[in-house]
Amino acid sequence: MKKRLRYFLQEYFGFTQRESNGFFLVIPVLVVLALVPKGFHWYQHREARAQYQEYLVKADSMFQAVKEDSVARYARVNRSFLAKDTGRWEAYQRKQATLNKMDFAAADSVVLQVVPGIGPTLAARIVKFRESLGGLHRKEQLLDVYGIKVPVAKRVFEYFTFTPAVDRYLYLNTAGIKDLAAHPYIRYGEAKVIVAYRGQHGAYARVEDLLRIKILSEDWLDRVKPYLKLEEAPVDQ
């Protein structure tokens, strides 16, 4: 092999015997010089990797120690804090913010809007109905307000107390047609009949006398009766 290579160098490159021998001496030196940096780099990399692994082990150990110390310190502080303030914090948690409840009869259209589902229009309609009626004597009467739904009507009395309160009455023996017809439970035709019957038969002796008017039913009377009172018939001079 060496002879063939020497022949190749002499034949194609014109090397002499001496130059060929020198070439074979130089080649190993060049190979060694080329491998030395790579070997040095590999050695350095191995040392650095070993140091890095050692650093990771130490860092992990330090981190675990700090973590355990922090957890223990937090537990001590937390126990001390709760021991001092538990009563106050639990009392705050139990305490619920509440609104002052007022009577439904005193609520105006602004205050009524605190109830979910009641806006300005419906609130004004409720107040107008209550005033025209002369007050509510039963909670369920709120359903007679146009546009109100059962869940909203029930919700009203979660925010307001209710006391039966009729503060204005119709006097059967003196009220005119317009006065009677202004009441939400009495239509104009019914008002005319009530006044006409009174004109024909004289003053009513009791509220139940209205049932002598055949078009008026007991259900109708039960509905309107809380708002009716009698007055003595006027004395002729």
Domain assignment of residue 200, yes or no: yes
Domain assignment of residue 237, yes or no: no
Give me the pLDDT at residue 233, please: 45
Give me the pLDDT at residue 146, please: 94
What DSSP letter does each residue of 53-96 carry, written as one string?
Answer: HHHHHHHHHHHHHHHHHHHHHHHHHHHHHHHHHHHHHHHHHH--
Give me the pLDDT at residue 126, please: 96
Last residue of a domain, one of 124, 142, 161: 161
Give me the pLDDT at residue 237, please: 47
Examine the domain organization and report whether 47 and 88 are in the same domain: yes
**CA angle centred on 229, ends 228 and 235, rounded to 5°:** 135
Examine the domain organization and report whether 62 and 19 are in the same domain: yes
Give me the pLDDT at residue 98, please: 72
Report, as ranges of residue numbers, the positions in the chain whose pLDDT lies below 50.
Answer: 233, 237
How many Å apart are CA 234 and CA 237, to the nearest integer? 9
Give me the pLDDT at residue 68, please: 73
Examine the domain organization and report whether 204 and 138 are in the same domain: no
Q: How many CA atoms lie within 13 A of 225 on its CB side?
A: 14
Q: Using an 8 Å Cβ cutoff, are 204 and 225 in contact?
A: no
Give me the pLDDT at residue 99, please: 74
Which range of residues forms the domain containing residue 125? 102-161
Give me the pLDDT at residue 157, please: 94
Q: Strand 160-161 vs strand 228-229: parallel, antiparallel, or unpaired?
A: unpaired
Examine the domain organization and report whether 85 and 107 are in the same domain: no
Domain assignment of residue 45, yes or no: yes
Domain assignment of residue 192, yes or no: yes
Examine the domain organization and report whether 187 and 155 are in the same domain: no
Domain assignment of residue 236, yes or no: no
CATH for 137: 1.10.150
Q: What is the pLDDT of residues 152-184, one digit of tens each?
A: 999 999 999 999 989 999 999 999 999 999 999
What DSSP letter does each residue of 14-47 carry, written as one string?
Answer: ---HHHHHHHHHHHHHHHHHHHHHHHHHHHHHHH
Give me the pLDDT at residue 7, please: 60
Q: Using an 8 Å Cβ cutoff, are 193 and 215 in contact?
A: yes
Last residue of a domain, one of 69, 94, 119: 94
Q: Strand 170-171 vs strand 160-161: parallel, antiparallel, or unpaired?
A: unpaired
